[in-house]
Amino acid sequence: MIDANAIPISRPSLKLLGSEPIRATWEYLEQKFSTGASHKRGDGHPVVLYPGLASDKRAFSALRKRCETLGFPTLDWGRGFNTGPKGNVDAWMGDLAHDTSELLAPYSKKATLIGWSLGGFYAREVAKLLRSQVRQVITMGTPFNDGIEHTNVAWIFRMLNGTAPLIDAAMSARLRTPPPVPTTSIYSRGDGVVAWQSCRDNTQNPRTENVEVSGSHIGMGWNSAVIDVVCKRLSKRLPRPSSR
């Protein structure tokens, strides 16, 4: 068995990137005409969805429907089309955490934060700022593990913002640091946008878990396997947080 940690991180091939739209379309059709796996109804805790770069809540329509069918009120992050952080990143993230806290104010139970690709960075960082309101974090194809330089999306960010994302060593270390809550990182070796190795958590932390699925990056929001993993994690009983 090959050790995933020993495989050098490299940007996905252009061939794999080029096949993304076709594979994502197939995953959409497969999900649309599938009954889906059976899951028990949940406890009703809220779920917040953070979309990927250059997408919005529509990319989560299938996942949202499934979550709500199981009794989890599902909330959009509230900022529409995701073009990436603006200005000072810390201030921007602080504002996003405040907005998320406001979204969760009507609910008594802690929330699950789910982020796809760039949205996964938001989910992880917001969870660090709102620990008392967050139950767990689930990321989908998020290259937090030193993966900024191993993606095929820098040009999209540059097109939307006029500049490439600047990630120094300190910021990279911060992004790799897991939130203080249970965290599930979903990744696919068939990802044509970001290096799959960069979407795995390699820290020795009992709260972190990596789950591999088969599929594209673009289609993760409606991939049946991804939705199945999310539904299982939403209904899973989590260990009590450490008192430390």
Specify the pLDDT at position 11. 85
Specify the pLDDT at position 91. 94
> Could you tell me which of 137, 140, 130, 146 has the C-alpha nearest to residue 96?
130
Specify the pLDDT at position 147. 54
Mean pLDDT of the 122-135 span: 97
* pLDDT at residue 101 greater than cutoff 50: yes
- For 182-223, how does the pLDDT look when each residue is reduced to its tens digit (9 = 90+)? 999 999 999 999 999 999 998 888 999 999 999 999 999 999
* pLDDT at residue 120 greater than cutoff 60: yes
Question: What angle, 0 to 180 degrees and rounded to 10, lies between the N-to-C axes of helices 118-129 and 89-104?
Answer: 70
Sorted by where each starts, the structural domains of the chain and their CATH numbers stand as: 41-235 (3.40.50.1820)
Specify the pLDDT at position 244. 41
* pLDDT at residue 13 greater than cutoff 80: yes
Mean pLDDT of the 156-178 span: 65
CB 73 within 8 A of CB 107: yes
Specify the pLDDT at position 38. 77
Confidence band for 96, pLDDT divided at 50, 70 and 90? very high
For the chain, count helices (H), then strands (E). Answer: 8, 6
* pLDDT at residue 3 greater than cutoff 80: no
- The average confidence (pLDDT) of the chain is 87
Residue 115 burial (CB count, 10 A): 28
Residue whose tokens read 């097109």: 159
Element at 235 (helix H, strand E): helix 224-235
Mean pLDDT of the 10-30 span: 93
Confidence band for 97, pLDDT divided at 50, 70 and 90? very high
Specify the pLDDT at position 158. 54
* pLDDT at residue 80 greater than cutoff 90: yes
The partner residues of 76 in beta bridges, in order of sequence, read: 49
* Residue 98 token pair: 């405040």
Specify the pLDDT at position 157. 53
Specify the pLDDT at position 243. 43
* Residue 154 token pair: 């820098």
Mean pLDDT of the 144-160 span: 64
